[in-house]
Amino acid sequence: MINIGFGPNIILGIILWIGVTLLYLLRIVKPEVARDEDIFFATIGLLYGCILIIHGWRLDPILLFSQVLIISSLLVAGWENIRLRGLLANTTKFKKQKKQK
Give the pLDDT band of residue 34 (cuts 50, 70, 90).
confident
**pTM recorded for the entire structure:** 0.80
Mean pLDDT of the chain: 89
Of 58 and 86, the one with more pLDDT: 86
- At 20 the pLDDT is 93
The DSSP secondary structure of 19-88, one letter per residue, reads HHHHHHHHHHH-TTT--THHHHHHHHHHHHHHHHHHHGGG--HHHHHHHHHHHHHHHHHHHHHHHHHHHH
**Per-residue pLDDT for 60 more than 90?**
no
Q: What is the pLDDT of residue 15?
A: 93
Instruction: Give me Rg for the CA atoms of the chain.
Output: 18
Section 63-91 average pLDDT: 92
C-alpha 95/C-alpha 92 separation (Å) is 5
